[in-house]
């Protein structure tokens, strides 16, 4: 009995091709059309096209600076290694990469899994901190793809998993290794640890998303693991829409820091991409320089050999067919649909 393990991700164009970038942006803006009022689908699509054309030149420039996004290549490695890890544990699996906004799209992954004759699916969004426009919507899109195929297959989803102990240890080890290599000390009064989280529209928080709560608790735990008493948290927001986002914005935060240097840890990502290689390494580094700060950005541990082990740990109870509650999984509150479980929901 073969299980298809679908690793859901955001996706990014691998090269600064204008048409691919426009298509990518249009998909993003249309998928989040509910952030603004629209009287019809046609109006929402028209707005998405206008927003994409406005954003495209700047994003293309970012991709040119970083030589294209490495996200897809890194995702493929993680999927391959996760499959190998699960097979070494004795499970019959096939792994699939499924992107929300670039190829291979989620519906393409569903088609591939059906063609391979898998008997069931387990879907894992590769976003450790659960949010509505990432974890939740990607699982919804996979359900829709399966329905469109009229495919009767068991599909279980995992949403929030930032509390996984091995994952937390990977991030702590990665930060400690980086600062040691740079000859830095996070407890030095002239050094500030800054956690940079991907921002989210306030609209989602008002609707009940607990994303900001997950961000706060993860930063607190990570600081404790690192032995750091104080730290700062800022959000990487996108100004493409005239709507309120999470605060404080990372750019504003940096300019107000009164130490000699900052060590920035991007907490929302498991791959290097434009948000790290351009927004942080280029734009935020320039802001820090203007503020007279020495800037250090912690790399993403995307190729740590333990990452596939984390993914395997997360999907294993669903493949082995024992009660996921044994691994502390509970029914997800962010996506209250049977078969969707997470490590975040409180005990009843």
User: What pLDDT sits at residue 276?
Assistant: 96
Residues linked to residue 96 through DSSP beta bridges, in sequence order = 6
Q: Which of 171, 191, 200, 197 is nearest to 300 (CA)?
A: 171
Token pair 């019959």: residue: 92
Domain boundaries, the chain: 18-66, 165-297
Greater model confidence, 36 or 316 = 316
Which of 66-70, 100-104, 183-187, 245-249 has the lowest average pLDDT? 66-70
| Average of per-residue pLDDT across 59-85 | 94
Confidence of residue 238 (pLDDT cuts 50, 70, 90): confident
Note the CATH number of domain 165-297: 3.40.50.1400
CA distances for 239 relative to 48, 51, 281, 284, angstroms: 14, 11, 19, 15
User: What pLDDT sits at residue 45?
Assistant: 83
Q: Is the pLDDT of residue 44 over 80?
A: no
């Amino acid at each position: 009995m073969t299980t298809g393990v679908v690793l859901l991700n955001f996706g990014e164009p691998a090269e600064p091709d204008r048409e691919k970038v426009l298509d990518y942006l249009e998909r993003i803006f249309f998928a989040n059309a509910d952030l603004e009022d629209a009287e019809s689908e046609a109006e929402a699509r028209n707005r998405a096209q206008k927003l994409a054309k406005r954003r495209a030149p700047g994003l293309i420039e970012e991709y040119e600076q970083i030589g294209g996004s490495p996200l897809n290549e890194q995702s493929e490695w993680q999927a391959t290694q996760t499959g190998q890890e699960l097979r070494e544990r004795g499970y019959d699996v096939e792994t699939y990469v499924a992107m929300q906004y670039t190829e291979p799209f989620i519906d393409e992954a569903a088609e591939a899994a059906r063609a391979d004759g898998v008997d069931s699916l387990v879907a894992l969004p590769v976003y450790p901190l659960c949010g509505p426009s990432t974890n939740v919507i990607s699982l919804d899109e996979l359900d829709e793809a399966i329905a469109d195929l009229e495919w009767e297959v068991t599909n279980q989803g995992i949403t929030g998993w930032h509390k996984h102990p091995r994952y937390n240890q990977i991030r702590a080890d990665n930060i400690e290794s980086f600062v040691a290599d740079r000859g830095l000390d996070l407890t030095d009064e002239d050094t500030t640890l800054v956690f940079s989280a991907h921002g989210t529209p306030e609209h989602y928080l008002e609707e009940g998303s607990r994303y900001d709560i997950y961000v706060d608790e993860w930063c607190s735990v990570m600081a404790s693991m690192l032995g750091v008493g104080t730290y700062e948290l800022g959000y990487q927001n996108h100004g493409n829409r005239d709507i309120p986002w999470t605060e404080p914005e990372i750019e504003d935060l940096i300019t107000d820091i009164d130490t000699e240097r900052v060590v920035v840890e991007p907490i929302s990502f498991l791959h290097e991409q434009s948000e790290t290689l351009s927004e942080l390494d280029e734009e935020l580094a320039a802001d820090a320089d203007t503020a007279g700060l020495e800037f250090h950005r912690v790399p993403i541990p995307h190729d740590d050999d333990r990452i596939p082990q984390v993914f395997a740990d997360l999907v294993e109870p669903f493949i082995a067919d024992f009660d996921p509650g044994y691994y502390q999984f509970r029914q997800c509150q962010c996506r209250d649909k049977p078969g969707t479980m997470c490590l975040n929901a409180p005990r009843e």
